[in-house]
Amino acid sequence: MSLQRNLHTLSLSVATAAVLVVSGLFGSVGAQAATPPPGSMAALGDSITQALDSCGYKDCPANSWSTGTSTSVVSHASRLRSAGATTLVVSNDAVSGSTSASLLAQAQKAVAQKAQYVTIEIGANDACTPTVAAMTPVATYEANVRAAVALIATSLPSTRVFVASVPNLKTLWAVNKGKLGARLVWASARICQSMLARPTSTSATDTARRDAVQQRVTEFNAALVRVCASFAGCSTDRGALAGYAFTSADISTLDYFHPSVKGQARIAALTWPVSPYAVAP
- What is the Cα 210 distance to its own chain's centre? 24
Using the predicted structure, report yes or no on whether residue 10 has a pLDDT greater than 80.
no
Q: State pTM to two decimals.
A: 0.87
Are 221 and 166 in contact by the 8 Å Cβ rule? The answer is yes
The answer to whether the CB of 274 falls within 8 A of the CB of 237 is yes
Q: Is 135 in contact with 213 (CB distance < 8 Å)?
A: yes
Q: By percentage, how much of the chain surpasses pLDDT 90?
A: 86
Cα angle vertex 223, ends 221, 228, to 5°? 100
Check pLDDT > 70 for residue 5: no
Q: Mean of the pLDDT values across residues 230-258?
A: 97
For residue 251, list its beta bridge partners: 259
Is the confidence at residue 34, as pLDDT, over 70? no
Distance CA 23, CA 21 (A): 5
| Pairwise pLDDT comparison (14 vs 224), residue with the higher score | 224
Q: How many CA atoms lie within 13 A of 273 on its CB side?
A: 8
Question: Residue 36: its pLDDT value, please?
Answer: 87
Give pLDDT, residue 279.
62
Q: Give the confidence band of 4 by pLDDT, cuts at 50, 70, 90.
A: very low
User: Residue 161 above 60 pLDDT?
Assistant: yes
Classify strands 117-121 and 160-163 as parallel, antiparallel or unpaired: parallel
Other C-beta atoms closer than 10 Å to the C-beta of 95 total 18
Res 13 pLDDT > 80: no
- Rounded to whole angstroms, what are the CA distances from 237 to 10, 25, 46, 158? 51, 29, 17, 19
Q: What is the mean pLDDT of the chain?
A: 90
Reported as half-sphere exposure (CB side, CA atoms, 13 A), residue 49 has a value of: 33
Mark out the alpha helices in the chain (DSSP H runs). Answer: 2-33, 76-82, 103-112, 124-127, 138-155, 169-176, 180-188, 193-196, 204-229, 261-271
As a whole number of angstroms, the distance between CA 261 and CA 72 comes to 7
Helix (H, G, I), strand (E, B) or coil at 231: coil
Number of helices (H), then strands (E), belonging to the chain: the values are 10, 5
